[in-house]
Structure 1
Amino acid sequence: MKLTLPQGQFKAYLFDCDGTITDSMPLHFVAWNKVFAEYACHFPETTFYAWGGMPVADIIERLNAEQGLKMPVAEIMKVKEEIFRELLSELQAVPEVLEHILAAHGKIPFAVVSGSPRESVVRSLEKLGILDRFETLVCAGDYKNGKPDPEPFLIAAERLGIAPADCLVFEDAELGIQAATAAGMASVKVLTPLERAAVVA
């Protein structure tokens, strides 16, 4: 499934990680549901994808508020990441995104802009053997306001020394697309597994 990039001479590519570079969202969904099962927390697949790009702590806090739960945020973050790491052997790249990474590497700078913890992003990129392709990683904890706020993308552009208007964002989540637009950046939508299934059907 090919990606059609918008017109323009872009000077930097900014990539979300989970679901964009890595086909990791199904693995994250398994990890979430394993840890949430102990707390009787309901996390539907449609909600999971709709909240793509949201920092992990924000997801837990929002579910606590919506379902009247008192899940310990730090503990769940820790356990969820441990479960995800156990599943990393199954991780694959999203082929149509990897194609652009390999084709443009060395020609323009790249950044990863993720709502996941840095350790999770680093492990995922190492598993795919492409960590060294990125000049900078902007992860949870590097910014105050997560997607759909533009702050994460603006930090990445600043680190790369590239004007926002000259950056192209690769994103699978609507929150990420909104953040890119708010940052004044063009974007290309990467289909989620649910969207891929709908296209095939």
Structure 2
Amino acid sequence: MENQMDVENYIIKNNIKLLILDCDGALMDTVESHYLAWRDTYNKLGHEFVTFNEFQKQYAGTSGFELVGILNHKFNYTLEIEKTVKLKDDIFITDYIQSVRPFENVLNLVKQSYGIIPMVVASGGETAVVNEMLNLNKISKYFVDIITINDVKQGKPFPDLFLEASARFNVFPHECLVFEDSNAGFQAAKNANMKCIDVNELGNIKNKKKLK
């Protein structure tokens, strides 16, 4: 889908009753900032972190708790998961969150859908971090609810986040439309039996980063 009208027609044609937006990488341009916060965290703890390319391709959409566990196993690290995630979130909020902005095309879609169809943010991030990002950018008002990894048992690619959204608003999964950017998110939507749009198809909203 290349433009706003395509999305509107898709919503009408498929009788969509709830829009579910991923936060990091879909609604908010955060991938680079999260990577830098993770890299700083691991450096502070005396460990190397993965390259930006690997982070973007393999771990985008993965919750912090799951990411630390994966890297512990991969590199034989013994980091305490909760403490590591807390440190990373603190670094992200202190050093990077002020520069985070929403993707313009996705924000335009949100603004044009506001008041017409309910919208939910469903994120693998921590509640405090997600709320802070939305509040700083003054866009919380557009969403009827914010669901995060703290509200469910399993993050993406499991469907828990999206199914929690549909359950809260008594909407069938097939009546939901998910906006995602990562393979984990696409799989989560599929596992939830929900329709999904890759936000990369909403025009050229992503800036390709050159970090290594």
TM-score by length of 1: 0.91
State which of 15, 19, 35 in structure 2 corresponds to 1:29. Answer: 35
CA distance in 1, matches of 2:97, 2:121: 18
2:166 and 2:172 in contact (8 A); partners too: yes
State which of 156, 167, 178 in structure 2 corresponds to 1:158. Answer: 167
The unaligned stretches of length 5 or more in structure 1 are none
Shift of residue 42 of structure 1? 2.8
State which of 127, 142, 145 in structure 2 corresponds to 1:133. Answer: 142
Report matched runs for 1:1-201 at 5 Å: 2=3, 5=7, 7=10, 8-37=14-43, 38-49=45-56, 50-86=58-94, 87-191=96-200, 196-197=207-208
* Cα displacement string for residues 118-173 of structure 1 (whole angstroms, at most 9, x for unaligned residues): 00110010011011211111111211121111121011011122111111100111
2:38 and 2:49 in contact (8 A); partners too: no
2:179 and 2:196 in contact (8 A); partners too: yes
Q: Give the AA of the match of 1:44.
A: T
The unaligned stretches of length 5 or more in structure 2 are none
TM-score by length of 2: 0.86
Runs of 4+ in 1 over 6 A off after TM superposition: none
CA distance in 2, matches of 1:95, 1:51: 24
Q: Say how many residue pairs are matched.
A: 198
1:135 and 1:160 in contact (8 A); partners too: no
CA distance in 1, matches of 2:72, 2:38: 14
RMSD: 2.2
1:17 and 1:112 in contact (8 A); partners too: yes
SS in 2 for 1:115: coil
Relative distance call for 1:161 and 1:184 in structure 2 (3 A) is same
* Cα displacement string for residues 69-89 of structure 1 (whole angstroms, at most 9, x for unaligned residues): 111222211111111112111
